[in-house]
Amino acid sequence: MTSKVTYLGGLRTENVHIKSNNSFLTDAPLDNNGKGEAFSPTDTVATGLASCMITVMGIKAQDMGVDMTGTTAEVTKTMASDPRRISKIKVVLNFPFESDAKTRTILERTANTCPVHYSLHPDIEKDITFNWK
């Protein structure tokens, strides 16, 4: 088992990672009858894309002797209706270090082949920007 999700009432869930016992809450968003006091489930999907991209880049960067500490991703999720779904995820990656063109190309290709990227439905538009120092 990977995780356990418990419905707490009030359109809120508690999500526990079994191995580490780390947890986070989700709420239904304001535009869907919720309080919007925590990530929504679709927020976690969009954020998961950025987190996965940075993680696989970090693995590759480590192999290349590149320190990615301080790299950030700004995530914007766009919803569509009928049916309600994620229609677009915009990720802006900001790198606080300088690198050569070869390193940038390798890391960008690595990011665009992360498991979450491949797992998302092809109808979800993925708008990815890489901002290098």
Q: How confident is the model over 90-111, as pLDDT tens digits?
A: 999 999 999 999 999 999 999 9
Q: How far apart (Å, rounded) are the C-alpha atoms in residues 102 and 121? A: 30
- Same domain? 76 vs 111: yes
What residues make up the domain containing 107?
Answer: 42-132
Asked if 109 contacts 53 with a C-beta cutoff of 8 angstroms, the reply is no
Among residues 28, 22, 31, the alpha carbon closest in space to that of 9 is found at: 28
- Same domain? 58 vs 98: yes
Q: For 1-29, write each residue's pLDDT tens digit.
A: 999 999 999 999 999 999 999 999 999 99
Tokens of 45: 């999907």
Residue 8 lies in a domain: yes
Domain count, the chain: 2
Residue 37 lies in a domain: no
Mean pLDDT of the chain: 97
| Res 95: pLDDT | 97
- Same domain? 89 vs 70: yes
Q: Is the peptide bond before 83 cis (omega within 30 degrees of 0)?
A: yes
| Res 25: pLDDT | 97
